[in-house]
Chains A and B, each alone.
Chain A
Amino acid sequence: MLTTRIIPTLLWKEFGLIKGAGFDSWRRVGPVLPAIRVYNQREVDELILLDITAQETGDDPDYESIAEYGQDCFVPLTYGGGVRNIEQVKRLLRAGADKVSVNTAAYESPSLVTRIAQRHGSQCVVASIDVRQTAPAQWTCFSHAGSRDTGRDAIAWARELEDRGAGEILITSIERDGTFEGYDLPLVSAVADAVTIPVIASGGAGNYQHMVDVIMQAGASAVAAASIFHFTELTPAGAKQALEAAGIPVRKPFVDAPAT
């Protein structure tokens, strides 16, 4: 049976990892490479690396650094930040990314999602949606790292991204980001009901129960979290134990038998 993934999100700006709240108030976390090595050693299920600089400046992704980070990553690595064209995707995959996350560019050119899916497969495209709540049971999509209102309805946009070939949806509540108050359950539930592809919940995790809730109550296929892993003593391994205790299947660590 498919297990539920717990995915640390690494936000990378200039020379190191950062984390904020509400897509603002950034705090420095530390260097990127040791974090990736530690997560890899601890056999996390998957990693998401988002480059805020490339996103803000419109520069090309920093392929050299990504190649360095990907070298020691033997679990799936998703890269996001400033991805605007199919050539960049090819270079990112060459550099060691397994999937790319597309956000802002998808609003400007929705066919980008289709082109990536056709060339590299749907499994390669993680469509990322950042939203704010605008009314009860209504959420609006924001582009440019949460700074610009696109006017698009989040649920309709999630459906369109699926139709265009996205393999997964990463749904982030800007308001919950970094608050430790828990995932936006109605939001995740509405998106999970609207699409048939896996949905990764993001924004707001403050304890293990929040993860259990968004999986059991809102139907998330995976949970992403950053602040709790950076700033508290909670760990992906601890989260797995909590999920398992709640009856959610999780990946068990593999213990290699001695060579025979």
Chain B
Amino acid sequence: MRVAVIDYGTGNLGSMLRALEELGAQPFLATTPAQLAGAARLILPGVGSFSDCMAALTEGGWIAPLHRSVEEDRAPLLGVCVGMQLLADRGTEGANTADGTEGLGFIPGRVEHLRQHGCSARLPHVGWNAIHPAGAADPLLAGIPEGTNFYFVHSYAMHPDHPEDVIATAMHDVPFAAAVRRGHVWGTQFHPEKSSRAGFRLLRNFLERGAPC
């Protein structure tokens, strides 16, 4: 299975490629939007600020091809960390206006600093934290029990407009969305590629069960 890991100039992508290889997929770094065509799965990573990532995606001409792949070609998409946050309508990190920077809009909602939601614990939220599946059982979380630890590193969190889009939560003084899903677009605030065996299981689910519905 060909899996495009979208490379728009951000962070450590090697671990994601290696993890997908270990799972038997054929991952590749998509460095131009044209390479998205024909990919069976898309992975959108991200580190840095929401606004910088959106600027890089815009500059690289990724936005329309991404929508085309997801909406017309029906390719399942997984956003990871800031890559999950970018799935929202808007994000305030690094934005010039109080209203925030426009996101990809796959999942209606906003991305805001955890302090804005009453978190008084140390930030960034760094380390291994338990996730709690929410709502109906989701194929992405098959075989992953309540309380499984995943590796997080972030200070912002997504707040989907529709509570049913949250498929797992985690607690860092306040509850926040740890994983989201709308149709065949998924996002994880944590890093499956850095979450050892639990992360491998989740990625395997995305490859095997993340079919368009």
The CA of A254 and the CA of B11, in the complex, are separated in Å by: 26
Q: Tell me whether A70 is interfacial, beta carbon within 8 Å.
A: yes
**How far apart sit A66 and B12, CA to CA, in the bound complex (Å)?**
12
B118 close to A (CB within 8 Å): no
Asked if B128 and A251 make an inter-chain contact with CB atoms under 8 angstroms apart, the answer reads: yes
Question: Could you tell me the distance between the alpha carbons of A256 and B125 in the complex, rounded to whole angstroms?
Answer: 26
Among B48, B126, B129, B130, the residue within 8 A (CB) of A221 is B126
A57 part of interface (Cβ distance < 8 Å): no
- The answer to whether the Cβ of A95 comes within 8 Å of any Cβ in the partner chain is yes
In the assembled complex, the Cα of A3 lies from the Cα of B154 at a distance in Å of 15
Q: With A and B bound together, what is the CA distance between A76 and B149 in angstroms?
A: 14
Report the minimum CB–CB distance from A118 to chain B (whole Å): 8
Let me know if A67 and B14 touch, CB within 8 A. yes
A residues 188-215 near B (Cβ < 8 Å) are: 196-198
Stretch touching chain B among A12-20, A105-113, A119-127:
A119-127
Residues from 121 to 156 in B contacting A, C-beta threshold 8 Å: 121-130, 142-144, 147-149, 151-155
| B127 A70 Cβ-Cβ under 8 A | no
Q: Is the CB of B197 within 8 A of A254?
A: yes
A167: CB under 8 A from chain B? yes
Q: Contact between B124 and A198 (Cβ–Cβ < 8 Å)?
A: yes
B171 at the interface (CB under 8 A from A): yes
CB < 8 Å A-B pair total: 128
A252: chain B residues at CB < 8 Å are: 147-149
Give the B interface residue count (CB, 8 A).
Answer: 47
How many Å lie between the Cα of A123 and that of B124 in the bound state?
Answer: 7
Q: State whether A122 touches B124 (Cβ < 8 A).
A: yes
Quick one: which of B47, B144, B193 contacts A124, CB cutoff 8 A? B47
Is there a chain B Cβ closer than 8 Å to A2's Cβ?
yes
Rounded to whole Å, the gap between the CB of A35 and the closest CB of chain B is 17
B198 at the interface (CB under 8 A from A): yes
Q: How far is the CA of A5 from the CA of B199 in the complex (A)?
A: 17
A11 within 8 A of B: no
Interface residue ranges, B against A (CB under 8 Å) = 10-15, 18-19, 47-49, 52, 82, 121-130, 142-144, 147-149, 151-155, 171-172, 191, 193-201, 204
| A interface residues, Cβ below 8 angstroms from B | 1-5, 40, 43, 45-46, 67, 70-76, 93-98, 118-124, 167-168, 196-198, 221-222, 251-257, 259-260
A-B contact pairs, 16 of them (CB 8 A): A1-B130, A4-B127, A5-B127, A43-B197, A70-B12, A93-B11, A95-B14, A96-B15, A97-B12, A98-B153, A122-B155, A123-B124, A167-B126, A254-B144, A255-B197, A260-B143
